């Protein structure tokens, strides 16, 4: 399983020394020996990385040949016993067991190698060539294969053409994220079905770690996972601010306080008055445990942590929002989510921000708010008194501020939500 942590992108700095590839350190004129040594070290690392990639490509070919051997053995067994087809279970088990024993690698890992090798040799030939030449490594190749798993043969060719240049210049986790986006745009119907199937696999697992620790893993829709994390982050930050303010107030009181003479009481309260030195990660973990076990952040007393709600950023194409298209919505700009989930999130959002995108360069041209702010809601309610829809007299405080110019005037785009464009109507 790929490490979900994004690794930092590092760019090599060229110093203009031709001696880097020689394996030695030869400081040419005008080059600091310190940088020449580093340049030579980087060159050695690059050569080593490229050689490892070449061997990984060779292993992919070996794995593809192993699958051919399995198919041949299945055919031989079927020919030897007509009418008694046994399938590929026994030949597959034989190959997996022999490779696992010889390489001292688990059968699940061997099985993954076989699948990736077959995909590279039969489908992603350009990716295999890039791997052989050291332009990408095994993790990039795996990201490309996984991202295109649900695509048709025709779309896979276009998908590989688009994703391979990205893989050659980005890290493997970044390649994996962008592969999902490209695949979702090329074949949205299949991706949506894949998301529905994956939803059936949602689950929670526990693992025991060393030193008395444990790990809780949750597989759920990405929008919910990001929402959970963002809410924990907001609550952790708020808790830190409350603790810092309390500590500052305590320090101020201590400077001008009066000695009560109650030394025992002071010792007993020392731990309670000690500053909270927990990191944000530790606060997230503590709040999550507290909420799951008690259903409320009770450890935070009278603070407003319970009022904090999750905030996630979802980019939804306007035609998808209207239900006229299934072009995928993107969570945080990189994770495709089901269009139905995106529409539900949009329906519950207190406000939208409309972004005008240039059709060629895809650069943002304009940003405005689609739904009214709280201040604008109050202003409109005071102005209109009641719903302005013909025949409706519902009081404004029970109605919904909407934009008048969801207009029937052809060719006139709706303006940003503002005092001049909004009125009180009832849904």
The pLDDT of residue 19: 45
CB atoms within 10 A of CB 118: 18
Terminus-to-terminus CA distance in the chain, angstroms? 47
Most confident region among 255-259, 326-330, 409-413 by mean pLDDT: 326-330
Q: Tell whether 218 is covered by a domain.
A: no
Residues 45, 48: Cα–Cα separation, whole Å: 5
Domain enclosing residue 280, as ranges: 224-253+264-307
Q: Of residues 214 and 261, which shows the higher confidence score?
A: 214
Q: How confident is the model at residue 8 (pLDDT cuts 50, 70, 90)?
A: very low
The pLDDT of residue 392: 64
Q: Tell whether 110 is covered by a domain.
A: yes
Same domain, 300 and 359: no
Most confident region among 131-145, 231-245, 257-271, 322-336 by mean pLDDT: 131-145
Q: Tell whether 111 is covered by a domain.
A: yes
The pLDDT of residue 85: 60
What is the value of pTM for the model shown? 0.59
Q: What is the pLDDT of residues 217-268, one digit of tens each?
A: 999 988 889 889 999 999 999 888 887 787 777 665 444 444 444 444 455 4
Structural domains of the chain, count: 3
* Whether pLDDT at 351 is above 90: no
Q: What is the pLDDT of residues 37-52, one digit of tens each?
A: 899 999 999 999 999 9
Q: What is the pLDDT of residues 354-400, one digit of tens each?
A: 776 666 666 777 776 666 667 777 777 777 766 666 556 566 655 55
Q: Which of 331-345, 372-386, 397-411 has the lowest mean pLDDT?
A: 397-411
Same domain, 45 and 180: yes
Looking at beta carbons, which pairs linking 283-288 to residues 24 or more positions away fall under 8 Å? 283/235, 283/236, 283/239, 283/240, 284/229, 284/232, 284/233, 284/235, 284/236, 287/232, 287/235, 287/236, 287/239, 288/228, 288/232
Same domain, 270 and 121: no
Same domain, 152 and 40: yes
Q: How confident is the model at residue 100 (pLDDT cuts 50, 70, 90)?
A: very high
Same domain, 181 and 249: no
The pLDDT of residue 323: 74
Closest among 170, 112, 185 to 146, alpha carbons compared? 112
Same domain, 234 and 173: no
Q: Tell whether 22 is covered by a domain.
A: yes
The pLDDT of residue 117: 95
Same domain, 85 and 141: yes
The pLDDT of residue 57: 96
Average pLDDT, the chain: 76
Stretch 277-283: mean pLDDT? 90
Residues 224, 312: Cα–Cα separation, whole Å: 9
Which backbone phi and psi does 62 adopt, to 5 degrees? -60, -40
Helix-then-strand count for the chain, H and E: 15, 9
Q: Tell whether 139 is covered by a domain.
A: yes
Q: Of residues 98 and 198, which shows the higher confidence score?
A: 98
Q: Of residues 116 and 266, which shows the higher confidence score?
A: 116
* Whether pLDDT at 55 is above 50: yes
Q: Tell whether 166 is covered by a domain.
A: yes
Q: How confident is the model at residue 321 (pLDDT cuts 50, 70, 90)?
A: confident
The pLDDT of residue 294: 79
Same domain, 180 and 244: no
Same domain, 173 and 229: no
Same domain, 290 and 418: no
Q: Tell whether 161 is covered by a domain.
A: yes
Q: Tell whether 9 is covered by a domain.
A: no
Q: How confident is the model at residue 197 (pLDDT cuts 50, 70, 90)?
A: confident
Same domain, 50 and 122: yes
Residues 6 or more apart in contact with residue 337 via CB below 8 angstroms: 195, 221, 222, 223, 314, 328, 329, 330, 331
Q: Which of 186, 211, 245 is the last residue of a domain?
A: 186
Same domain, 98 and 236: no
């Amino acid at each position: 399983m790929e490490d979900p942590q994004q690794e930092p992108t590092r760019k090599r700095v060229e110093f203009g020394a031709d001696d880097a590839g020689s394996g030695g350190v030869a400081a040419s004129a005008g080059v600091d020996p310190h940088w020449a040594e580093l340049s030579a070290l980087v060159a050695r690392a690059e050569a080593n990385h490229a050689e490892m990639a070449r061997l990984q490509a060779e292993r992919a070919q070996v794995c593809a040949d192993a699958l051919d051997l399995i198919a041949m053995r299945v055919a031989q067994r079927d020919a030897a016993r007509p009418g008694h087809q046994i399938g590929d279970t026994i030949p597959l088990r034989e190959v997996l067991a022999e490779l696992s024993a010889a390489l001292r690698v688990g059968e699940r890992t061997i099985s993954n190698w076989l699948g990736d090798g077959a995909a590279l040799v039969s489908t992603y030939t350009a990716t295999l060539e890039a791997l052989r030449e050291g332009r990408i490594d095994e993790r990039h190749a795996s990201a490309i294969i996984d991202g295109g798993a649900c695509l048709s043969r025709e779309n896979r060719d276009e998908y590989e053409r688009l994703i391979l240049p990205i893989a050659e210049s980005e890290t493997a986790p970044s390649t994996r994220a962008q592969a999902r986006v490209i695949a979702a745009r090329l074949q949205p119907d299949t991706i949506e079905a894949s998301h529905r199937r994956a939803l059936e696999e949602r689950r929670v697992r526990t693992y025991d770690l060393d030193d008395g620790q444990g790990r809780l893993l949750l597989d759920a829709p990405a929008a919910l996972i990001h929402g959970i994390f963002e809410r924990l982050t907001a609550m952790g930050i708020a808790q830190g601010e409350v603790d810092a303010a309390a500590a500052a107030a305590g320090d101020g009181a201590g400077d001008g306080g009066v000695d009560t003479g109650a030394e025992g009481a002071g010792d007993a309260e020392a731990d309670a008055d000690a500053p909270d030195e927990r990191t944000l990660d530790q606060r997230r973990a503590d709040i999550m445990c507290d909420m799951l076990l008690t259903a409320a952040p009770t450890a935070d007393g009278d603070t407003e942590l319970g009022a904090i709600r999750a905030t996630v950023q979802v980019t939804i194409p306007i035609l998808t929002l209207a239900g006229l298209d299934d072009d995928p919505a993107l969570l945080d700009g990189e994770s495709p989510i089901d269009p139905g989930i995106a529409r539900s999130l949009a329906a519950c959002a207190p406000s939208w921000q409309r972004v005008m995108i240039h059709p060629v360069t895809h650069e943002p041209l304009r940003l405005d708010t689609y739904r009214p702010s709280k201040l604008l809601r109050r202003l409109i309610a005071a102005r209109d008194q009641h719903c302005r829809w013909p025949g409706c007299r519902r009081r404004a405080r029970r109605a919904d501020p909407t934009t008048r110019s969801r207009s029937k005037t052809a060719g006139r785009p709706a303006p940003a939500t503002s005092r001049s464009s909004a009125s009180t109507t009832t849904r």
